[in-house]
């Protein structure tokens, strides 16, 4: 059906018609993330990576279950929990059984809750939630459920790895914590206080504060406080414009010490920081792009850049999601029985394209993998971000970070 006819049809029946018949041979994955509005850049980057990974890692190799291809179906949730739930319903109606989402833990919380209820109320139309980016620890602790799988290291794991590195750095005596005033910012701060206290009791936390999310126009006053505190390092969970604003203010106010952060790369951020961030910005995260861990990863990134020159592989774990889902479907021998697929995914150990093992813990469905400290730099960068020449280079690595960390998850499995 052509687009115009679709539009007319859509207007006429409001896209409300009964379940569309779906192609038998394609396995559809609903990608529910922002594709319009202020966070569209991140959402589109994720979509490009999903489409590329599905093509490159599954479809080009002959698909799964003897020829079924992966198809990514994009749904724009406008980063709103309300819209996400509507799009989830639309996706389920279209017969889609795999839901991928990552931007915003608030949305992830809404989705995991809705999916839990949906699967209980509609046992014949169950779905699996592939969370590739939302890192609120609660999702694999108090709010965990059998249908949710998290492929990114959660905020606690990242902080665990980060504090392991800080522990070895004797030069750091004073740390300043600052974050956005919401669950993720608070989780980062709480984890930092707890873990630094356990690993380096001599470190003084000279500042621990939250600022309103997305409301601060000028971070200069915060920068002044940080400088005045005499901190040797700063830890922040900020993202988006709040990360850029904070980082730029702190650097231009004269801070030359490391800024440890979670999200300060790609989507224009790397380019905006440019040379100011050199030697200052340190990210904690999974996925190694520089130096390329192996030829396969190198070729994968190059092929991606050739197809999407204005986009980056900002979330390397997306390749893991696709590969592991394909394996789980093969192992289960079905793409319709979600209990079997979820069971196959539980406990799976996988050699990822990024040269590290990824293991899905059975107890809470959290992926355990190598976590790196990545430096924002211009040197030895094979794959830059934002075509700026700057990129992230692995500085140090914690192998299989937090593999034995406790979880409060009491998972209920379907009988």
Partner 1 sequence: MTGIEANKNTGTKRSDDLAPHKWESRRLINWSSAWPWVSAMVLLLALPVVFPSGSAITIMNQMAITIIFALAYNMLLGQGGMLSFGHAVYMGLGGFFCMHVLNWVEYDGLWLPLPLLPVLGGLFGLAFAFIIGSFSTRRAGTVFAMISLGVGELIAACSIIIVVFFGGEEGVSGDRSMGPEVFGFDFAQQREVYYLIVAWLLISTLAMYLFSRTPIGRITNAVRDNEERAEFLGYSQRHVRWISFCASGFFCGVAGALFAVNLEILTEENLNTTQSGIILLVTFLGGVGFFVGPIIGAIVFTLLQTVLSLYTEIWQLYLGILFVLTVMFFPSGLTGLIAVHIAPWKAGKLGLLAVPYAKLIIPLLAFVLSGAAILEILFHAREASVGDEAMTLYGITFNSHSLLPMIVAVVVAAGSVVIMKRIMPSLKEAWDAASPVSNAP
Partner 2 sequence: MSLFIVNILDGLVTGLLLFMLCSGLTLIFSMMGVLNFAHASFYMLGAYFAYQISTYVGFWPGLIIAPVIVGVLGALIERYGLRRVHQYGHVPELIFTFGLALLIEEVVQFLWGKSQKAYEEPAILDFTAFSIAGNAFPAYKVFMIFVAIGIFLVLLYILTKTRVGMIIQAALTYPNTVQNLGHNVPLVFMGVFGVGTAMAGVAGVIAGPVLGTFPGMAFLLGSIVFVTIVVGGLGSLWGALLASLLIGWLQTFAASYNVRMEDILVALGMEKPVDLASSALRDLWTLTLPQIGPILPYLLMVLILIVRPQGLLGKRET
Q: Residue 107: CA atoms inside 13 Å, Cβ hemisphere, count?
A: 30
What is the CB neighbour count within 10 angstroms for residue 192? 25
Distance CA 150, CA 160 (A): 17
Our CB check for partner 1 shows the closer of 14 and 24 to be 14
Residues facing 73 on adjacent strands:
30
Binding mask 47-76 for partner 1 (x = CB under 8 A): -x---------------------------x
Q: Cβ closer to partner 1: 308 or 397? A: 308
**Close Cβ partners of 117 (under 8 Å, ≥ 6 residues apart):** none
Buried b (16+ CB within 10 A) or exposed e, 235-244: bbbbbbebbb
How many whole angstroms separate alpha carbon 410 and alpha carbon 259? 36
Residues 364, 150: Cα–Cα separation, whole Å: 9
Q: Which of 197, 212, 268, 406 binds partner 1 (CB under 8 A)?
A: 212
Q: Residue 380 Cβ, how far from partner 1 at the closest point, in Å? A: 26
**For residues 23-52, which are near partner 1 according to CB under 8 A?**
35-37, 40, 44, 48
* Least distance CB 98 / partner 1 (angstroms): 17
Alpha helices in 57-154 (DSSP H): 81-93, 105-121
Interface positions, 133-192, toward partner 2 (CB under 8 A): 181
Residue 95 interacting with partner 1 (CB under 8 A)? no
Angle between helix 155-168 and helix 183-199 axes, rounded to 10 deg: 30
The residue range among 54-62, 230-238, 303-311, 321-329 that interacts with partner 1, by the rule CB under 8 A, is 303-311
* Total residues binding partner 2 (CB under 8 A): 37
Choose among partner 1, partner 2, none what residue 24 binds, the Cβ cut-off being 5 to 8 Å by kind: none
Q: Torsion-angle region of residue 367: left (phi > 0), alpha (psi -120 to 50) or beta?
A: beta
Binding site for partner 1 (CB under 8 A): 2-7, 10-11, 13-19, 35-37, 40, 44, 48, 76, 78, 80-82, 85-86, 89-90, 92-93, 105-106, 109-110, 113-114, 117, 121, 136, 181-183, 212-213, 215, 306-311
Binding site for partner 2 (CB under 8 A): 37-41, 181, 207, 209-212, 214-218, 220-222, 224-225, 227-228, 241, 244-245, 248, 252-254, 267-269, 271-272, 274, 388
């Amino acid at each position: 059906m052509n687009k115009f006819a679709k539009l007319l049809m859509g207007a006429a029946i409001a896209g409300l018609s009964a379940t569309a018949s779906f192609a038998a041979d394609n396995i559809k994955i609903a990608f529910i993330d922002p594709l319009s509005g202020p966070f569209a850049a991140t959402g589109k980057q994720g979509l490009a990576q999903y489409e590329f990974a599905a093509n490159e890692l599954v479809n080009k190799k002959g698909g799964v279950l003897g020829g079924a291809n992966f198809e990514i179906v994009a749904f724009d949730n406008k980063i709103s929990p309300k819209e996400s739930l509507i799009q989830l319903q639309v996706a389920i109606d279209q017969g889609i059984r795999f839901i991928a989402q990552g931007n915003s833990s608030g949305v992830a919380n809404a989705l995991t809750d809705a999916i839990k209820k949906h699967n209980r109320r509609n046992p014949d139309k169950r779905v699996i939630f592939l969370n590739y980016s939302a890192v609120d620890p609660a999702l694999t602790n108090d709010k965990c459920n059998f249908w949710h799988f998290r492929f990114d290291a959660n905020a606690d794991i990242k902080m665990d790895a980060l504090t392991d590195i800080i522990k070895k750095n004797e030069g750091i005596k004073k740390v300043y914590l600052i974050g956005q005033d919401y669950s993720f910012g608070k989780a980062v701060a709480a984890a930092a206080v707890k873990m630094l206290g356990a690993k380096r009791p001599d470190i003084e936390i000279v500042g621990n504060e939250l600022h309103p999310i997305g409301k601060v126009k000028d971070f200069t006053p915060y920068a002044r406080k940080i400088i005045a505190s005499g901190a040797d390092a700063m830890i922040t969970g900020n993202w988006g414009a709040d990360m850029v604003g904070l980082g730029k203010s702190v650097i231009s106010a004269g801070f030359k010490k490391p800024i440890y952060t979670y999200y300060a790369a790609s989507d224009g951020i790397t380019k905006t920081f440019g040379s100011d961030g050199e030697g200052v910005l340190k990210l904690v995260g999974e996925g190694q792009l520089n130096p390329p861990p192996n030829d396969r990863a190198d070729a994968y990134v190059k092929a991606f850049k050739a197809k999407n020159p204005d986009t980056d592989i900002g979330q390397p774990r997306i390749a893991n999601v696709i590969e592991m889902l394909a394996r789980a479907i093969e192992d289960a021998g079905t793409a319709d029985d979600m209990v079997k697929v979820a069971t196959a995914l539980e406990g799976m150990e996988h050699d990822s394209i990024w040269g590290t093992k990824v293991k899905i813990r059975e107890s809470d469905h959290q992926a355990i993998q190598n976590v790196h400290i990545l430096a924002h730099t211009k040197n030895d960068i094979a794959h830059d971000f934002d075509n700026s020449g700057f990129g992230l280079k692995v500085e140090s690595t914690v192998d299989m970070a937090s593999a034995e960390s406790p979880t409060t998850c009491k998972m209920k499995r379907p009988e």
